[in-house]
């Protein structure tokens, strides 16, 4: 008798869960997403393995986010609206309303950049808007080209790392654009010798060629190495006894030199005819680094590496 009662109770609970699911589906069909979510949650409390309730709850959350995004757009809040639409499509990839609203909103932002921000020279707003588009459409060539122009104008045409990065990112999607091509060719014409000296430096480290490495570094870099070595000697630490020991430890760093190519140059930022910053990354190193190249007595040499202002998150 007890077993029969237990079975009946389970059956009643299951029926209650099914009833909540059916009510939730009706609310969902009417677009009453909050009510639908509440009903699906109740159904899942009754029966955690209710697949239908779980599926429709995700769809209801997607619909709710789409409605919330539409309300935010009415208030002019494009950034938060796009984030909600992205979530909505993540919950339901077939959500046509979210897809359409996302497409329309991104096009509106593009129009604002080209018709409002750039003509009024609002460079910061233009750059922020381009970044917003790239967050959801990283391959959008128009946004990348508009950003390159805005960054260039913002920096008054100076070929610093911000301008070069923006041009390089635009080049990937629009390699034949005349403005991008002209500016990158101009930078390339100024930086060839700096690329060559950095390649020579990396080659010396990979091949463990101390003599070549020593000939490339600036007197300041060499003095810094000597000070580091002297500090080790003072501490009676046997690891470093001379500059060659420092070089071997540097070239033996497994994080930086675990690949044949060593470092990858991100961009070369010309500072003058005789000076430049070379921004680069190592394969598994967490930061972007840079070295300053400088002509000293008609010979091009390199300063010690340091952290670059470029972040890895800038390299999309």
Note the CATH architecture for domain 2-106.
Alpha Horseshoe (1.25)
Ordered alpha helix ranges (H), 174-218 = 178-206, 210-216
CATH of domain 186-314: 3.10.450
73 vs 260, more confident:
73
For 237, the token pair is 């630490």
Which residues belong to CATH 1.25.40 in the chain?
2-106, 116-184
C-alpha angle 231/232/237, rounded to 5°? 150
**CA pair distance 50, 73, nearest whole angstrom:** 35
Q: What is the pLDDT of residues 267-282, one digit of tens each?
A: 999 999 999 999 999 8
Tallying the residues shown for the chain, one arrives at 316
Residue 122: CB atoms within 10 A of its CB come to: 17
What pLDDT is stored for residue 237 in this prediction?
84
pTM: 0.83
What pLDDT is stored for residue 298 in this prediction?
87
CATH number, domain 116-184, options 1.25.40, 3.30.70, 1.10.3470, 3.40.50 = 1.25.40
Q: What is the pLDDT of residues 134-144, one digit of tens each?
A: 999 999 999 99
Backbone dihedral region of 305: left (phi > 0), alpha (psi from -120 to 50 degrees) or beta?
beta
Q: How confident is the model at residue 2 (pLDDT cuts 50, 70, 90)?
A: very low
Q: For the chain, report the end-to-end CA distance as a whole number of angstroms.
A: 68
Q: What is the pLDDT of residues 39-82, one digit of tens each?
A: 999 999 989 899 999 999 999 999 999 999 999 999 999 999 99
């Amino acid at each position: 008798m007890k077993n029969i009662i237990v079975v009946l109770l389970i059956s009643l609970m299951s029926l209650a869960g099914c009833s909540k699911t059916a009510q939730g589906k009706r609310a969902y069909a009417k677009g009453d997403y909050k009510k639908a979510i509440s009903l699906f949650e109740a159904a899942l409390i009754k029966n955690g393995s209710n697949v239908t309730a779980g599926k429709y709850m995700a769809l209801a959350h997607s619909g709710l986010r789409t409605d919330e995004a539409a309300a935010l757009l009415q208030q002019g809040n494009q950034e938060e609206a796009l984030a909600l639409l992205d979530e909505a499509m993540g919950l339901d990839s077939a959500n046509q309303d979210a897809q359409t609203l996302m497409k329309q909103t991104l096009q509106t932002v593009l129009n604002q950049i080209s018709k409002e921000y750039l003509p009024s020279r609002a460079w910061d707003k233009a750059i922020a808007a381009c970044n917003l588009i790239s967050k959801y459409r990283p391959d959008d060539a128009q946004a990348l080209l508009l950003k390159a122009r805005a960054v260039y104008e913002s920096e008054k045409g100076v070929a610093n790392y911000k301008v070069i990065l923006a041009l390089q990112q635009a080049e990937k999607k629009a390699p034949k654009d005349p403005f991008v091509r002209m500016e990158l060719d101009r930078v390339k014409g100024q930086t060839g010798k700096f690329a060559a000296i950095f390649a020579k430096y990396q080659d010396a480290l990979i091949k463990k060629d101390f003599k070549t490495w020593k000939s490339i570094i600036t007197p300041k870099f060499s003095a810094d190495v000597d000070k580091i070595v002297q500090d080790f000697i003072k501490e009676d630490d046997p690891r470093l006894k001379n500059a060659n020991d420092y070089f071997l430890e540097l070239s033996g760093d497994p994080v930086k030199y675990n690949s044949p190519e060593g470092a990858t140059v991100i961009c070369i930022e010309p500072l003058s005819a005789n000076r430049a910053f070379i921004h680069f990354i190592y394969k598994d190193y967490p930061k972007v680094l840079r070295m300053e190249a400088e002509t000293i007595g008609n010979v091009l040499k390199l300063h010690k590496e340091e952290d670059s202002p470029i972040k890895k998150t800038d390299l999309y």
